[in-house]
Structure 1
Amino acid sequence: MATSERTSEVDLLILDLDGVLVDTQDAEDGALAYVGTLMGVHLTHEQATALFSGKRVQECLDLLADMAHRPPPSDAVQIVRAKCQELIGATLEPVPGVEDALRRVGVELCVASNSPREIIEKRLADCGILDFFGDRLYSAYEVNAWKPDPELFLWAARDRGVAAARCVVVEDSLVGVDAALSAGMRVLQFNVVPVEAPHREGVPTFSSMHVLPALVHGGNLS
């Protein structure tokens, strides 16, 4: 690992996948909105983001079913996965600055995502950053607990032998921020597009991955 900025107060950095390491959240939301149109529900980009970001696919399909007063197509999950891949396209890049931040942060890294493990592995591999994490990949599907349930983060910490209080989580969605707070972990809210206010009061927000190492160790943007 390159230059370390480690302190004794942080032992594990837990990162979400979509919207944090890879900028695929819009594709995920767009794919779900596409299924919505098949069901007669037409959502703006802003509505889709507010409804779907950070949530598991089945929960989003249930929301669409409530709005449409009809069930989704029987193969809706497959439609979402295929449409998402179409929207992502042939080339997937990490969020700008991620590789530099992961090299410099100086603590153990893992990924904890609501996505299935095979999608986590594929997206990390496709954008060339899987080696930063090895097998330290945690899927909600493996523990049967999806954000905002804190169990996914708590499972990752237990598996790495780290107390919750010594973990820092990087999240972009409200459900992810709530899961981290419920787990008793410090959380940093990352958004590619700067936001005016955090999802929850007191949560630091940032929009450049280059400042992540300093934030992990208690620094600020000034």
Structure 2
Amino acid sequence: MDCGGFCSCRAETQISAVIFDLDGTTLNTEKATKDVLKDFLAKYGKVLDKEKEDNRLGKMHKESAASIVKDYELPLTADEFSKEIIPYYQERWPQAKALPGANRLIRHLHKHGVPFALASNSLRKHVEGKISHQEGWEELFSVILGGDEVNSGKPSPDIFLEAAKRMGADAVHCLVIEDSVVGVTAAKAAGMKVVAVPSLPTQTHRYSTANSVLHSLLEFQPEIWGLPPFEDWVQNALPIEHLFVEGIVSKGDPRDGCTFLSITADESSSESLPDQVSGVYFGWARLGTHGIFKVVVAIGWDPHSDIATTIIQPCLIGEFNEYISGEQLQLLIVGYIRQLSIEENNLGGFDTIEKDKSIADGALDLPMFSNTMSSPLLAESTCRGSGCCE
């Protein structure tokens, strides 16, 4: 069984409790707030260094604040920096959305009575502020911990050990889900199993100590860890919280009943996609004045880029023989089919396989998916073409 990247797929011990990280693992706060530090530094004539910020990922705010002030030689103390920048982050928190698969897993564990905790290096009051915008989260988590409630934050194991203690669980029977290297280090130091869903998708080699490395929580399989399996797949298709992308088509390439589109995604649209969204999806595509079509969408990474650059490759299902160039494209992604292979994830040679098209085609005829075509996100259009919903 391929559990994504490198991993030890079968747990050696039965997992009885789960501990989640917050930022970048369950909540897309890092995308929602991504320009805050950059804009803040610009006020002081400084330029953000992405490598330094990647290395700060997951660390305590107090520690990060001190190192930011030092690294950028800001004319502020760490406390002054924090007081000045935190309100800018708080303004963005309401925009943060649950990462793909997070709500699904949280509600699944709650349904089956599996205790689960939230353990973040953020201050407890900031944790509460962030999750207050997510329906039900405050009530669903068995335990909520902030970094200021333990002696030392991650990479120290303190916060995970305290979470386990409050849940009445042994550390050896706990599974941690993390996105940062410091979080993985802390979980291993606590003697716990850990699944990494990296916020640094092009640097998975840094997560080699994790028991499993996934591209998305949609790939998570509870039964591997002795937890109750999901039961929400419908004919090999998984309903998901909708994703929306807009772009311009540069060309269309008809192949075997599926027209591959090369698109330039709208910057604000593609930037709204989480980093942890790799996989094969399906949904609806509105193509300019041509109508609304069924579509399979592969999302992966540009292997030739030094930074994490998302590649979106839609394929209209059905015969479509018209020349396409410069057309506006709207993608409403409503379901998930599978993870990409290691080779496909770099999208150097992704080619939608017949099974993907068949699953998407059949699923989009089901009421639970076909009804989504009327979403207000897709402008009204006259549906036509053999790949279109009839």
TM-score of Structure 1 vs Structure 2, range by shorter chain: 0.7 to 0.9
Q: What is aligned with 1:182?
A: 189
Q: Greater CA radius of gyration, 1 or 2?
A: 2
Q: 1:151 to 1:193 in 2, by over 3 A?
A: closer
CA contact (8 A) 1:147 1:179 kept: yes
Output the CA distance in 2 between the equivalents of 1:84 and 1:181: 30
Are 1:122 and 2:126 counterparts? no
Query: Comparing 209-218 with 60-69, which one deviates more in the overlay?
Result: 209-218
Letter in 2 for 1:173: S
Cα offset, 1:146, TM superposition: 0.9
Structure possessing the higher relative contact order (Cα contacts under 8 Å, 6 or more residues apart): 1
Instruction: Check if 1:31 corresponds to 2:36.
Output: yes
- The one-letter code matched in structure 1 to 2:144 is L
* SS at structure 1 position matched to 2:48: coil
Q: Which runs of 5+ in 2 are unaligned?
A: 1-12, 228-338, 342-390
Identity of aligned residues (%): 27
Residue 65 of structure 2 corresponds to residue 61 of structure 1: yes
| Residue of structure 1 aligned with 2:139, choices 131, 135, 146 | 131
Counterpart AA for 1:100: R
**Change in 2 beyond 3 A, CA 1:61/1:91:** closer
1:205 is aligned to 213
Contact 2:198 2:204 in 1 (8 A): no
Report deviation, 1:218. 6.3
- The corresponding residue for 2:173 is 166
Q: Compute the displacement of 1:49 (Å).
A: 3.6
More displaced stretch, 155-164 vs 191-200: 191-200
Matches within 5 A, 1:1-222: 9-27=14-32, 30-44=35-49, 46-47=50-51, 49-69=53-73, 72-73=76-77, 74-88=79-93, 90-105=94-109, 106=112, 107-128=114-135, 129-134=137-142, 136-191=143-198, 194-195=201-202, 197-203=204-210, 204-214=212-222, 217=225
User: Conserved in 2, the CA contact under 8 Å of 1:146 and 1:152?
Assistant: yes
Question: Which residue identity is paired with 2:138?
Answer: L
Q: Which has the higher strand share?
A: 2
Instruction: Look up the match of 2:272.
Output: none
- Report the number of matched residues: 212
How far 1:78 sits from its partner (Å)? 2.2
Deviation at 1:167, TM superposition (A): 0.5
Aligned residues of 2:184 and 2:209 also touching (Cα < 8 A): no
Q: 1:77 to 1:160 in 2, by over 3 A?
A: same
The two structures have a TM-score, normalised by structure 2, of 0.49
Cα pair 2:155 2:183 within 8 Å, conserved = yes
State the AA in 2 paired with 1:158.
Answer: K
SS of the aligned residue for 2:95 comes to: coil
State how far apart, in whole Å, the 2-side matches of 1:144 and 1:104 are: 32
| Cα distance, 1:69 vs structure 2 | 4.0
Compared CA separation, residues 112 and 154, structure 1 to 2 (3 A): same
- Residues 177 and 195 in structure 2, CA contact (< 8 A), matched pair in contact too: yes
Return structure 1 stretches of 4+ with deviation > 6 angstroms: none
Deviation digits for residues 7-43 of structure 1 (CA, Å, limit 9, x no counterpart): x811110000101111012455643444444555411
Gaps of 5+ in 1: 1-7
- What is the Cα deviation at residue 148 of structure 1? 0.5
Letter in 2 for 1:85: Q
CA RMSD of aligned residues (A): 2.9
Which structure dedicates a bigger proportion of its chain to helix? Answer: 1
SS where residue 162 of structure 1 aligns?
A: coil
